[in-house]
Amino acid sequence: MKNLFSRNNPIYLITDRSIAGLTHSQIVKNAISAGVQTVKFIMNDYIDIAMAVSADGVHLGQDDMPIEEARRVTGNKMIIGISTHNLNQAIKAQEHGADYIGFGPVFQTSTKDAGKSKGLMSLKNICSKIRIPVVAIGGISSENINDVMNAGAEACAIISAIQSGNIKANIKILMRVL
């Protein structure tokens, strides 16, 4: 799947109502008005709901439906991404037909208990060995987003650094730093 993410606007917004205090649609509207250009609706975990609402894709965790099964159900009609935490998982995801991988947590994060941070060297290693887009996730902020992109990530999945406080202002800061 080509041009899944834009290097000019590599923000992969993950909406979280509990952090933002807004609805998912309010979060997205704020993000778009702040300049986020790539807006694809990727449903987390639930392929049946993703199909029912005609989402652009589904993002699977390591314990969710296997990629091959998800691909059989969706054909090539949906983007399929999967969370990975090491090189073996990333290679397996690529071999089994994922369109992109999420890798992390790159840095420590309080949004989700995702285990020990992997660091920039692990991200760089993954990016050098994987041919599909790598979306970095975990603790990404305006202070480290350039380091993440320089390590080879195609995009950065960001939650708290955008939704804690003023969404528009936070996105503009991230975009300015990039």
Give tens-digit pLDDT for 8-64: 779 999 999 999 999 999 999 999 999 887 689 999 999 999 999 999 999 999 999
Read off the pTM.
0.93
Residue 131 has pLDDT above 90, yes or no: yes
For residue 3, the model assigns a pLDDT of 66
pLDDT, mean over the chain: 92
Long-range contacts of 27-31 (CB under 8 A, 24+ apart): 27/163, 27/167, 30/167, 30/168, 30/171, 31/162, 31/167, 31/171
Domain that holds residue 55: 11-177
Task: Specify the residue for token string 């390591």.
Answer: 62
H or E stretch covering 163: helix 160-163
Q: Could you tell me what percent of the chain has a pLDDT over 90?
A: 83
In a domain, residue 3? The reply is no
- CATH code of 40's domain: 3.20.20.70
Residue 103 falls within a domain, yes or no?
Answer: yes
Query: Residue 11 forms beta bridges with which residues?
Result: 156
pLDDT at 112: 72
pLDDT number for residue 21: 94
pLDDT of res. 22:
95
Could you read off the pLDDT of 99-115 as tens digits, one per residue?
999 999 999 987 777 78
Beta-carbon contacts of residue 156 (< 8 Å; ≥ 6 apart): 10, 11, 12, 135, 136, 137, 140, 145, 148, 149
Which bin fits 152, alpha (ψ -120 to 50), beta or left (φ > 0)? left
Tokens read off for 154 = 């195609």
The answer to whether residue 2 scores a pLDDT higher than 60 is no
Residue 1: predicted pLDDT: 46
What total of structural domains would you count in the chain? 1
Q: d(Cα 94, Cα 81) in Å, to the nearest integer?
A: 10
pLDDT category, 152, cuts 50, 70, 90? very high
Q: What is the pLDDT of residue 5?
A: 78
Q: Is residue 74 part of a domain?
A: yes
Residue 6 in any domain: the answer is: no
The whole-number average pLDDT for the span 121-132 is 97
21 found inside a domain: yes
The pLDDT assigned to 178 comes to 86
Tell me: pLDDT of 96 over 60. Answer: yes
Any domain includes 52: yes
With tokens 């899944």, the residue in question is: 4
Distances (CA, A) of 91 to 13, 85, 120, 132: 24, 11, 18, 10
